[in-house]
Amino acid sequence: MNVLSHNLDLILKDKHVELLKIENRIQGLLKETNRNESIKQRINKFKSLFKNIDIMPKFDKDVFECLIDKVVIGETLEDGTINPYTIRFICKN
């Protein structure tokens, strides 16, 4: 009976470790989901802010500097070729 009890303890410990790993994975996925939802909410808020704004007649440097953190010109495609005709605006938080 002692060997059986020892084997059951080992099996229970293994299952407990597996359960902890699964719980950690679930927590990580929940955090990622919450982060993705937060990003979606921020994007939707950003879109709604600009949805009803008329086109500005001239460039406003102050507005641009308040909204944009940096500008990335060009990109490297998956096959390694460079596309210089892309402009990406990185917005401030």
CA 17/CA 31 separation, integer angstroms: 21
Of the chain, the percentage scoring pLDDT greater than 90 comes to 39
The structure tokens listed for 73 are 């010109």
Report the predicted TM-score, pTM, of the whole model to 2 decimal places: 0.43
**Model confidence pLDDT, tens digit, residues 20-59:** 999 999 998 888 888 878 888 878 877 777 777 777 778 8
Residue 66, number of CB atoms within 10 A of its CB: 9
pLDDT at 8: 87
Measure the CA angle with vertex 71, ends 66 and 76; round to 5°.
Answer: 160
pLDDT at 63: 81
* Mean pLDDT within 3-11: 84
